[in-house]
Amino acid sequence: MILLPRAVGESRRRAPEVFSTLSRHVLELETALHEVRGTFWNESSRERAREVALAISFGCTLWRIKGSGAVLRSLLALLALPYREARALRTSLVERLSELISVLKEQLPERGVGPGALVPGGTPGRRIRGTQGCGPP
């Protein structure tokens, strides 16, 4: 089950909880991508990975967390490839999925706060010192 932040207006004190939740969902996405690679392009495993990636993207957008939108869009585009195209690109596709999840994990905020992250109720463009986040550009 994917739990997302409740509302943009929540207190800043909830930011560490949100980042922790996003971290768990990125690990869930990594597991889903591992299953996609293991069953090579099984429709149900791809759908699960797409759902998790979309939920992460939505959560980041809702909380105004910036940084990893391009990575999530790339993952979603690759997961949308039909089986025939994926089969033709199998080796490079598997490598690219691994690269993208690694980049996404590197961009995760550490200890509740990461560079570029915005918190609920924050002013667009306002950065939290020493922060990094994920979300659409």
Question: What tens digit of pLDDT does each residue of 99-125 get?
Answer: 999 999 888 765 443 434 433 333 333
Burial of 125 (C-beta count, 10 Å sphere; 0-12/13-18/19+): exposed
Task: Count the neighbouring beta carbons within 10 Å of the beta carbon of residue 3.
Answer: 10
Task: Count the neighbouring beta carbons within 10 Å of the beta carbon of residue 89.
Answer: 13
Percent of the chain with pLDDT over 70: 66
Band of residue 68 on the pLDDT scale cut at 50, 70, 90: confident
Helix axes 15-38, 90-106, angle to 10 degrees: 170
Amino acid (one-letter) located at 13: R
pLDDT at position 69 over 90: no
Percent of the chain with pLDDT over 90: 47
Residue 29 exposure: Cα atoms within 13 Å on the Cβ side: 27
Domain boundaries in the chain? 15-106
Q: 4, 58 in Cβ contact below 8 A?
A: yes
Question: What tens digit of pLDDT does each residue of 12-39 get?
Answer: 446 667 677 888 899 999 999 999 999 9
